[in-house]
Amino acid sequence: MDVFQYKTLSSLSEGLYKEKGSKFIGYAVPCYSEEEAKGFLEKWRKEHHQARHLCYAYRFGADHAVYRANDDGEPNNSAGIPILGQIKSFELTNVLIGVIRYYGGTKLGVGGLINAYKEAAREAVLNGEIIEKEVHKYWELRFSYNEMPDVMNLVKRHQLEMRSSDFAENCMIVIEVPFRIEQEVVSQLSDIEGVKLINNG
């Protein structure tokens, strides 16, 4: 795999692991920011409001720079770290894995918990589809209606994805630019007078 690609999941997948009456439900989902992760976690908490714990881990960025593991009240490093370990083991990024635990009345001990959270996370990944995606950079463009035809032609020519847009007073779009053509695209956008470029990472 070259520097222009990374592994992630194609869509939400689920896994299940049972141990001594406790039920561990794993969710693995493609996710690109802490804000987005927060949304998924809130949704899962609502859906499983009777569950004892929702432990999770995520990792973002092609360089794997942003990551976090959370035990949500379980003994230290018995849940979040094993979940993160599965993300690393499958070499995934831009992904969030959450594991919900319904307590079954029997304590599993730290070793039992580590194994249960690891297996639920692993099952969730195995039940999903791992895909390779191209590394992209996000650029915010601000321009007036006069520059709209030139900007849109360029977006169309390079088949760039628009992540968000706002055409209220002035125009603002956020585009996804493949890393391998970033310099070329940025250079061409810079040549359009009146376009302001902001690198969104």
Read off the pLDDT of residues 116-162 as tens digits, 9 standing for 90 and up: 999 999 999 999 999 998 888 889 999 999 999 999 999 999 999 89
- pLDDT at position 163 over 90: no
In a shared domain, residues 30 and 70: yes
Task: Give the CA count within 13 Å in the CB-facing half-sphere of 28.
Answer: 31
Question: For residue 192, what are the CA distances in angstroms to 48, 141, 150?
Answer: 51, 11, 7
Q: What is the pLDDT of residue 2?
A: 56
Of 164 and 156, the structure prediction assigns the larger pLDDT to 156
Residues 20 and 64 in one domain: yes
Length of the chain in residues, anyone?
Answer: 201
CA dist list (Å): 19 to 4, 101, 196: 41, 11, 56
Is pLDDT at 188 greater than 90 in this prediction?
A: yes
DSSP-derived secondary structure letter, 64:
-
Q: Tell how many helices (H) and how many strands (E) occur in the chain.
A: 5, 11
* 125 shares its domain with 51: yes
Query: Is the confidence at residue 174, as pLDDT, over 90?
Result: yes
Same-domain pairing of 65 and 148: no
Q: Which of 116, 132, 148 is the last residue of a domain?
A: 132
Same domain flag for 31 and 105: yes
Same domain, 74 and 27: yes
Among 110, 107, 100, 105, CA closest to 55: 100
Number of domains present in the structure of the chain: 2
At 1, is the pLDDT very low, low, confident or very high (cuts 50, 70, 90)?
Answer: very low
Residues ≥6 apart with Cβ < 8 Å to 40: 27, 29, 31, 96, 98
Q: What is the pLDDT of residue 169?
A: 84
Closest CA to 101 of 164, 189, 186, 22: 22
Domain with residue 152: its CATH number is 3.30.70.260
141 and 128 inside one domain? no
Q: The tokens of 12 are what?
A: 């939400």
Residue whose tokens read 């990472």: 201
Tell me the average pLDDT across 176-184: 92
Verify that 104 and 33 share a domain, yes or no. Answer: yes
Domain boundary among 80, 103, 132: 132
- Per-residue pLDDT band for 173 (boundaries 50, 70, 90) equals very high
Bigger pLDDT: 190 or 169?
Answer: 190
pLDDT value of residue 123? 98
Q: 196 - beta bridge partners?
A: 142
Let me know whether 128 and 35 are in one domain. Answer: yes
Q: Is pLDDT above 90 for 87?
A: yes
Task: Tell which of 76, 103, 132 closes a domain.
Answer: 132
What does the pLDDT look like over 26-73, one tens digit per residue? 999 999 899 999 999 999 999 999 999 999 999 998 889 899 999 999
Domain co-membership, 67 together with 29: yes
The answer to whether 3 touches 133, Cβ cutoff 8 Å, is no
CA distance 171 to 159: 19
Q: Residue 87 is part of a domain; what is its CATH number?
A: 3.30.230.30
The parent domain of residue 149 ranges over: 135-199
Are 148 and 182 contained in the same domain?
Answer: yes
